[in-house]
Amino acid sequence: MKVHDVPDFRRRDLLKVTGVAAALSVIPLTARVATAADSQHVKIGIIGSGRVGSALGGVWAKAGHEVMFSSRHLDNDKKLAAAIGANARAGTPQEAAAFGQVLLFAVPYSAFPELIESLDDSFKGKVVINASNPFPQRDGEIANQAREKGAGLFDAQLLPGAHVVRAFNAVGAARMGSAHEDPGKIGMPIAGDDKKAIEVASRLVQEAGFEPVVVGGLDMGKYLMPGTPLAGEHTPEEVRSIAAILKP
């Protein structure tokens, strides 16, 4: 019997394969896993599916990421996921935190203490994008504490072990679901201390239609909220200019 479609590996081909295997063997396993993950879509847990969370989750699902919406209203999240269709599902905040390789928080700041306690350690070691803003009139004392310390540094205190990035804080919610229609025109200031987390967040910011502008570490997070010079819609160049003035 004649066998078809069997590759004819000559000696030089075998040497090439052997060389590739040898090269891979000297690359740390963690580096190989990270490289593979970089080329794939990620699972995103959306905790808080209001105007910001629902809009961003919808855009990311259409970009090919798997998204799980969650809030205190599971029935509404199921309807939202069904409306978006492919790549979207719904669950509890605990399920979304466990599901996501990347987490987006878009909840009232006053919800954090109870919410974080309910999540146990599921956010540790993950990239956490916090789009939440502390408003004293709405959120009470925790908002005062966050503003006194600086929202970025306070986020890290609330979420120990997470790779926190502040983003989507200074642009109106109405833009979250539409910026991708005319991408790159609006600069999105982001702040974080972890290089890898910044890279992941920047990619998601771009997919949402904004131009990511890293304004500094989490200490600059105090400027990523309404009422600061970085609030509102600015071009990427304008964001860089404003951030340069704000930096100490």
Lowest mean pLDDT among 9-23, 27-41, 141-155, 226-240: 9-23
- Give the confidence band of 4 by pLDDT, cuts at 50, 70, 90: very low
Mean pLDDT of 84-96: 96
Nearest-10 crossing angle of helices 141-149, 151-158: 120
List, in sequence order, every beta strand (DSSP E) within the chain.
43-47, 66-70, 88-90, 102-105, 127-130, 163-166, 187-192, 211-216
Question: Containing H/E element for 77?
Answer: helix 74-84
Lowest mean pLDDT among 18-22, 195-199, 223-227: 18-22
User: What's residue 177's pLDDT?
Assistant: 84
Report d(CA 216, CA 195) in Å as an integer: 11
Sheet holding 43-47, edge to edge: 88-90, 66-70, 43-47, 102-105, 127-130, 163-166, 187-192, 211-216
Average per-residue pLDDT in the chain?
85
Q: Is the pLDDT of residue 25 over 50?
A: no
Q: Give the count of beta carbons closer than 10 Å to the beta carbon of residue 39.
A: 6
CATH architecture of 42-246: 3-Layer(aba) Sandwich (3.40)
DSSP assigned state of 162: S
User: What's residue 27's pLDDT?
Assistant: 30
- Give the confidence band of 173 by pLDDT, cuts at 50, 70, 90: confident
User: What's residue 247's pLDDT?
Assistant: 80
Q: Is the pLDDT of residue 122 over 90?
A: yes
Q: Is the pLDDT of residue 1 over 90?
A: no
> 57 vs 175, 198, 218, CA distance in Å?
13, 19, 24
Q: Is the pLDDT of residue 5 over 60?
A: no
Q: Is the pLDDT of residue 35 over 70?
A: no
Q: What number of H helices and E strands is found in the chain? A: 11, 8
User: What's residue 183's pLDDT?
Assistant: 83
Residue among 245, 179, 181 at smallest CA distance from 212: 179
Greatest CA span in the chain, whole angstroms? 82
User: What's residue 18's pLDDT?
Assistant: 33
Report d(CA 217, CA 202) in Å as an integer: 14
Lowest mean pLDDT among 32-36, 50-54, 81-85, 138-142: 32-36
Mean pLDDT of 142-157: 96
Q: Give the count of beta carbons closer than 10 Å to the beta carbon of residue 244.
A: 10
